Each structure stands twice: as structure tokens, then as C-alpha cells.
């Protein structure tokens, strides 16, 4: 009896130890799943890292914009007061009134819209046609032409800047919007290669059965392009349009080279922003210590005005833009 009792006691102790080990292992497993996740669920640690990175990236992008906006609504007294940093004593909008006058906003806004909108529409249309041709057809030296297109994008544009200007000058394109619209019409707009590749990849992933069914029904290639390819490539069109519009809007070097180097009345907001100080001194000539002397608040107000149209466009098209970026990764047959 004593031996059997001792065996039972040892057996019970072993079971208790195993149960304790299983509980400890289960607790560790739960802790691991809670911190690092399991299957497709993200754990607390990974979620913390993701949000930390998002906050860091958001701070890097938002801090300059917030600083610029806060400074633009500060009066001269608030700018000189070291105790006032983020919250001004009052909202001072006279900076925007002066910046509006200095930027010559109406003609500059019209010029920016012309330079950004018309070449963008032509570039998106031509890039879609070229991308469709590379994706759907086989023709002699196709790989050679495709490689030359990629090579033209690799060459730094600064190398071709002066020869291109000489060519445009001989053709009489400088001093007008033709310096931007004609290259876009010929597939040589700003970063056209990127948009051609976007359309090429999108059309290449479109199911071929759709085009084959249309051909069986008697549709030619032009009908297939407008009735099948274009409706399915709406996300690619939106992405190409937004990126092209922003790049043309922000372009200052080519605009200065092709337009302001010749006698023309076309100007843009960013060109006016580059000449902001000289234009301000011309409009508001004051003494060294005069009250209308240019300050950081007026400069920041001009900068806010220059990016405001892009912010408005992005605000209204943000949902479509995000959806388009996601949908451009659709795979087909």
C-alpha cells in the first residue's frame, strides 16, 4: 500500500507538472500570437511598428506644410515674437492679399492651367495608344523600338536640353504652348515613357478572350480599343493624368527655357514664385526699415497659394486616385 500510494503521488505530481508546462506553453503561444500575430492577423508589435512608421512619414510630410501655413497667417509682430511658435495671436490675412498681387495670380493661374492641362490630355491619349500597340500587336523590330524607348528615358534630360531647344527654336515652337503640346502629341512629353509602360503593362494583363470575342463579333482594332481597352483601363488613365498634370504644373526649367526666353505673355504661378522677391520690391518699394518690407509670412503665403490648386485637385480626386493605384495591379490571363 505505501508503494502504491507513493506511485500515485508521483503520477499526480507528474500530471501536475505536465499540466503546468502545457499551460505555460499555451500562455507563451498566446503571448506570441498577441505580439507577432498569426496567419493573416497582425500582432500588437507589428501594428505598433507600422503605425510608428506611418506617424514618422506623416510627420516628415506634414510638418513643412503646417509650418508654412501657420507662418503665412502670422503678422510681423508674431514673427518677431520668439514666444509665439505654432499659435499666432491673430489670423493675419493681409499676407495673402499682398502675395495675391505679387504673384499676378489670374494670368499666372491661367498660364499654369494651359501648360499643365493641354499637354497632359495629349500625353495621356498618345501614351495609351502607344502602350496598346506594344501590348497587343507584333511588328518588325518591336523589341528594338521598345528598347530605344526605355533608353530615351535613361538618358538624363539635361544632356538633350540645349539640342532640343535649338531644334524647337528652328521649328518656331519656342514662345508658345506648342513647345509642350507638339512633343506630347508625338509621345515625347514629360516622362512619357513611364505612362507608356503603365498602359503597356495594363493592356498586356487584360484578358485576351475579350478582344477575341469582339473580333468574332466583327469589331476591328479601333472599336476594340475604344469599346474594350479604354473602359477597362480607366484606373491607368486616372493615374497617368494626375501624375502628368502634377509634373507639368511643377515644371519650371523648361517653362523658363521655352517661354520666358522668348517674347511671350505666358507665365505660370511657379515662375512668379521664383521672381517673388523682385516683384514684391517693385510693387512695394520701401526703405530699409519700412513697414511693408517683405518678410517670411508673405513668402509663405505665396507658397501656399502656389500649391493650393494641386491640393484642391487631390482633395476631390483622392478616392479615385487610391482606387486607381490599387486597380492597376489587376492581373488577367
Cβ distance 283 to 104 under 8 Å? no
Does pLDDT of 15 surpass 60?
Answer: no
Average pLDDT over residues 315-319: 75
Does pLDDT of 110 surpass 60?
Answer: yes
Average pLDDT over residues 187-195: 85
Which of 268-287 are b and which e, b meaning 16 or more Cβ less than 10 Å from the residue's Cβ?
A: bbbbbbebbeebbeeebeee
Verdict on whether the full-model pTM lies above 0.85: no
- pLDDT digits 0-9 by tens, 263-302: 567 788 888 888 888 888 777 776 555 566 777 888 888 8
Domains and CATH numbers, the chain: 26-72 (no CATH), 94-327 (1.10.3720.10)
What pLDDT, on a 0 to 100 scale, did the predictor assign at position 278? Answer: 81
Cβ distance 120 to 241 under 8 Å? yes
Q: Is 252 exposed, middle or buried (0-12, 13-18, 19+ CB in 10 A)?
A: middle
Amino acid at each position: 500500500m505505501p508503494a502504491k500510494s507513493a506511485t500515485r503521488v508521483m503520477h499526480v505530481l507528474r500530471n501536475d507538472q505536465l499540466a503546468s508546462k502545457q499551460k505555460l506553453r499555451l500562455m507563451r503561444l498566446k503571448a506570441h500570437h498577441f505580439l507577432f500575430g498569426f496567419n493573416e492577423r497582425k500582432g500588437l508589435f507589428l501594428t505598433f511598428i507600422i503605425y510608428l512608421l506611418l506617424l514618422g512619414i506623416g510627420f516628415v510630410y506634414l510638418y513643412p506644410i503646417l509650418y508654412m501655413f501657420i507662418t503665412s497667417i502670422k503678422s510681423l509682430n508674431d514673427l518677431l515674437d520668439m514666444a509665439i511658435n505654432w499659435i499666432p495671436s491673430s489670423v493675419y490675412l493681409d499676407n495673402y492679399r499682398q502675395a495675391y498681387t505679387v504673384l499676378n495670380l489670374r494670368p499666372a493661374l491661367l498660364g499654369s492651367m494651359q501648360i499643365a492641362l493641354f499637354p497632359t490630355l495629349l500625353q495621356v491619349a498618345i501614351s495609351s495608344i502607344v502602350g496598346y500597340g506594344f501590348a497587343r500587336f507584333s511588328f518588325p523590330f518591336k523589341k528594338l523600338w521598345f528598347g530605344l524607348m526605355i533608353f530615351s528615358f535613361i538618358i538624363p534630360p539635361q544632356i538633350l536640353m540645349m539640342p532640343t531647344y535649338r531644334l524647337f527654336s528652328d521649328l518656331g515652337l519656342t514662345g508658345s504652348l506648342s513647345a509642350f503640346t507638339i512633343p506630347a502629341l508625338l509621345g515625347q512629353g514629360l516622362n512619357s515613357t513611364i505612362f507608356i509602360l503603365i498602359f503597356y503593362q495594363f493592356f498586356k494583363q487584360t484578358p485576351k478572350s475579350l478582344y477575341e470575342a469582339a473580333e468574332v463579333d466583327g469589331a476591328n482594332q479601333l472599336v476594340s480599343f475604344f469599346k474594350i481597352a479604354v473602359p477597362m483601363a480607366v484606373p491607368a488613365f486616372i493615374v497617368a493624368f494626375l501624375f502628368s498634370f502634377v509634373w507639368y504644373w511643377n515644371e519650371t526649367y523648361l517653362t523658363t527655357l521655352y517661354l520666358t526666353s522668348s517674347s511671350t505673355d505666358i507665365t505660370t504661378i511657379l515662375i512668379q514664385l521664383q521672381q517673388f522677391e523682385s516683384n514684391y520690391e517693385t510693387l512695394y518699394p520701401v526703405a530699409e526699415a519700412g513697414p511693408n518690407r517683405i518678410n517670411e509670412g508673405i513668402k509663405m503665403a505665396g507658397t501656399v497659394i502656389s500649391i493650393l490648386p494641386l491640393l484642391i485637385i487631390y482633395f476631390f480626386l483622392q478616392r479615385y486616385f487610391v482606387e486607381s493605384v490599387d486597380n492597376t495591379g489587376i492581373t488577367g490571363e
